[in-house]
Amino acid sequence: MFSDLLPEDLARPSSFAAPEKVYQLYRELRQDAPIVRVEPRGYRPFWLLTRHEDIAALESQAEIYQAGPRTVLLPEKVEAVYDKIYGNPNGVRPLTHMDGEYHWLHRAVTLEWFGAKNLKQFVPAIADIAKEFVDRMEDMGGECDFSADIAYWYPLRVVMTLMGVPREDEAKVLRLTQRLFSPKDKDIKAQHEKAGHSVVKTESSATQDVVGEFAEYFRSMTEDRRRDPKRDIVSTIANAQIKGCPMGDHETTCYYIIAATAGHDTTAASSGGGLSGLLDFPDQMAKLRSDLDLLETATDEFVRWTAPVKHFMRTPTQDVEWHGETVKAGEAIMLAYPSACRDDRVHEAPDEFRIDRPRSPGHLAFGYGPHLCLGKRLANLEMQAFFRELLPRLKSIELGGKRTYIESTFVSGLKSFPVRYTFG
């Protein structure tokens, strides 16, 4: 092994502040140890799977590999607290944590909502929001932090608009999302404490606070949409029936949480990562600017390149064998999506940013199988609208300082991305 990192370092959020080192580790693992047992201090052991074809094959067998028992990597102490409070080690139980029929019935609630036909009606509204944010960038006078000033706010505005959340509450939702996904990041922690809503003690109590705040926030919206349904996502969730019965309060809150949170940090990271790729590969920037129709494939490359979701986990219900190693029933396997996205067995020259990569074979940054990201189409649509507005208006753009990354083992991307630009 030549990487500075060891597999157990993938349990350390700060490792993801240096993505090149993480990619080097994945490269070596895909080659020499495509499944490896990892035993980080403070965490239950797990197996790490790094090749594209293995992850896709595993996710296709959802009857054997379950999401529910252990969905994401959490410190053992945090899992123990969640177990006591929520009766499972994951804490909350949104779609990503469900299995079998229960999962399908809940996924069906918003499946149509996120489908092409329904989203089409929002295309003009999304284009208006994109324009508003490109105007904001222009108004900033030629310098901004693309991540902190633009990328984190634009997808948030889109999702909040589709959900029916008023503008004045967006900052609150962003803070709660980042706290949920990146509880260890110092800057995010400080921001959360500054807001004064919940003073952070431990990771588990912070999550409890965040879930409590989300529940509180959406309670009155649920009542309102049950009385007077609108065309928004909150109305769909508030009025959903599972086998003829309304969803319970905690289930409803978890549904809001995933709808409100899954879509913006991920899309923000991919927009930042995409622009960063365009700056690092100027030939690709020139190509895209000369043919904006390439945005159709380019935004998918933004997502492959960034792979903001660092993992999900699955637990087999029976003993299984991978590359000569036996994984016992009940032992969790971590699916390393960013590794799959750079697997040269599937992607030609994976460390090159190419905006016109063929659509097939697709990448795994949106996952695969029954849990495939519900917001995939929306994420691409949003990024296309933004760059379709931005690129023709830009005269020049260059890196304006050091790029830094969010410290998180779950969802991470650029935290700070200073750029200098002129509008034409």
Could you tell me the smallest distance in angstroms from the CB atom of residue 58 to ligand HEM?
Answer: 10
Name the residue nearer to ligand HEM (CB basis): 34 or 263. 263
Listed ranges 40-48, 171-179, 287-295, 363-371: which one lies at the site for ligand HEM (CB under 6 A): 363-371
Helices (H) and strands (E) in the chain, counts: 17, 14
Among 92, 234, 295, 303, binds ligand HEM (CB under 6 A): 303
User: Would you count residue 159 as binding ligand HEM (CB under 6 A)?
Assistant: yes
Choose between 26 and 337: whose C-beta lies nearer to ligand HEM: 337
Q: What angle do CA 378, 383, 385 make, to 5 degrees?
A: 95
Query: In this chain, which of 252, 267, 276, 384 binds ligand HEM, going by CB under 6 A?
Result: 267
What is d(CA 182, CA 203) in angstroms, rounded to the nearest whole number? 10
Does residue 295 bind ligand HEM (CB under 6 A)? Answer: no
Beta-carbon contacts of 315 under 8 Å, excluding residues fewer than 6 positions away, are: 65, 66, 68, 69, 70, 330, 331, 332, 333
Measured from the CB atom, the residue of 82 and 368 that comes closer to ligand HEM is: 368
- What does the alpha-carbon distance between residue 280 and residue 147 come to, in Å, rounded to a whole number? 16
Maximum C-alpha span of the chain = 61
Q: Does 333 bind ligand HEM (CB under 6 A)?
A: no
When asked if residue 270 is in the footprint of ligand HEM (CB under 6 A), the reply is yes
The single residue among 368, 405, 417, 421 that binds ligand HEM, judged by CB under 6 A, is: 368
Nearer to ligand HEM, 267 or 339 (CB): 267
Looking at the Cβ atoms of 40 and 308, the one nearer to ligand HEM is 308
Q: Which long-range contacts (CB under 8 A, 24 or more apart) does 394-402 make?
A: 394/421, 394/422, 394/423, 394/424, 395/421, 395/422, 395/423, 395/424, 396/421, 396/422, 397/275, 397/279, 397/421, 397/422, 398/279, 399/279, 400/143
Residue 29 interacting with ligand HEM (CB under 6 A): no
Rounded Cα distance, 205 and 227, in Å: 33
Q: Does 147 bind ligand HEM (CB under 6 A)?
A: no
Q: Does 82 bind ligand HEM (CB under 6 A)?
A: no
Helices 264-280, 295-306: axis angle to 10 degrees equals 100
- 361 vs 401 by CB, closer to ligand HEM: 361
Q: Locate 12 and state its tokens.
A: 């350390």
Binding site for ligand HEM (CB under 6 A): 59, 95-96, 107, 159, 258-259, 262-263, 266-267, 270, 303, 308-309, 312, 337, 365-369, 371-375, 378-379
